[in-house]
Amino acid sequence: MVTKNLVRVKVNGQDCEAEIEPRLLLAHFIRDVLGLTGTHVGCDTTNCGACTVILDGRPVKSCTVFAVQAEGREIRTIEGVANHGQLHPLQEGFKEEHGLQCGFCTPGMILSAYALLEKNPHPTEEEIRWGISGNLCRCTGYQNIVKAVQYAANKMSGEKHAA
């Protein structure tokens, strides 16, 4: 009989708990146990970053974290980026600047950019490119993703300024 562990995490502000196998990957926990399917899995070697979520403020590839390692911690997934139906400036930026095509890399890409802007609200183009360098996109060639992040950075600094 496989032993199961209780894991308690806060996901997008909500407390969740489940009995899980210790080997369950965080990506599968989020998708299969919590039913949050916006987190995607695109590889098996920690290269693609489609599964990126934010764990206690840091972007992590959730395919390379065990769910039990998230015990007691806070997770933000793509489903928790918009604010009460209002798109986050990054989500808006991706749409406005055509920063996505098939959409598969988009959630992970947005979360990496989210973490980047938290740390560095005014990144240069090079800093943006390095900031999303753990996320692969096969469709866009990144150019419009860079613009999308710049759009968000501008909008967010404008909002702060206005406030």
Partner 1 sequence: MLHKTSPEIGGMGHSVKRKEDLRFVQGKGTYVEDVRLPGMVYGQMVRSPYAHARIKAIRTEEARKLPGVLAVITGQDLEKAGLSWMPTLFHDKQMVLATGKVLFQSQEVAFVVAEDRYTAADAAELVEVDYEDLPVLVDPHRALDADAPILREDREEKTNHIFHWEVGDRKATESVLQSAPVKAKLDAFFPRCHPAPLETCGCVADYNSATGKLTVWETSQAPHAHRTLFALVAGLPENNIRIIAPDIGGGFGNKVPIYPGYVCAVVASLQLGRPVKWIETRSENLQSTGFARDYHMTAELAADRDGKLRGLRVKTLADHGAFNAAAQPSKFPAGLFSICTGSYDFATAFCEVDGVYTNKAPGGIAYRCSFRVTEAAYLIERAMDVLAQELKMDPVELRLKNFIPGDKFPYQSPLGWSYDSGDYHAAMNLALEKIGYRDLRKQQEDKRKNGELMGIGVSSFTEIVGAGPAHTFDIVGIKMFDSCEIRVHPTGKAIARMGTKAQGQGHETTFAQIIAQELGIPVADITVEEGDTDTAPYGLGTYASRSTPVAGAATSMASRKIRDKARKIAGHLLEVSEEDLEWEPGKFYVKGAPSKSKTIQEIAFAAYTNLPPGLEAGLEAVHYYDPPNLTFPFGTYICVVDIDKGTGEVKVRRFVAVDDCGNIINPMIVEGQIHGGLTEGLAIAFMQEIAYDENGNIQGGTFMDYLVPTAVETPNWETDKTCTPSPHHPLGAKGVGESPNVGSPAAFVNAVVDALAHLGVRHIDMPITPWKVWQILKAKGVAE
110 makes contact with partner 1 (CB under 8 A): yes
129 makes contact with partner 1 (CB under 8 A): yes
7, 9, 24, 153: which one contacts partner 1 (CB under 8 A)?
24
Query: Which of 4, 11, 1, 55 has the alpha carbon at shortest distance from 34?
Result: 11
81 makes contact with partner 1 (CB under 8 A): yes
43 makes contact with partner 1 (CB under 8 A): yes
55, 61, 65, 106: which one contacts partner 1 (CB under 8 A)?
106
Question: Measured between alpha carbons, how far is 109 from 53 in angstroms, rounded to an integer?
Answer: 10
113 makes contact with partner 1 (CB under 8 A): no
Helix (H, G, I), strand (E, B) or coil at 26: helix
* C-alpha separations of 107 from 2, 8, 39, 52 in Å: 33, 23, 6, 8
Query: Which of 94, 104, 78 has the alpha carbon at shortest distance from 147?
Result: 94
Determine the angle formed by the axes of helices 89-96 and 143-162, rounding to 10 degrees. Answer: 140
CB of 99 to partner 1, least distance (A): 9
156 makes contact with partner 1 (CB under 8 A): no
CB of 95 to partner 1, least distance (A): 4
**Residue with Cβ nearer partner 1 (123 or 161):** 123
Backbone torsions φ then ψ of 74, nearest 5 degrees: -105, 135
**Residue with Cβ nearer partner 1 (59 or 107):** 107
Measured on CA atoms in the order 37, 40, 45, 49, is the torsion positive or negative?
negative
User: Where on the chain is the footprint of partner 1 (CB under 8 A)?
Assistant: 21, 23-24, 28, 31-32, 35-45, 47-48, 50, 77-79, 81-82, 87, 91-92, 94-96, 98, 100-107, 110, 128-130, 132-146
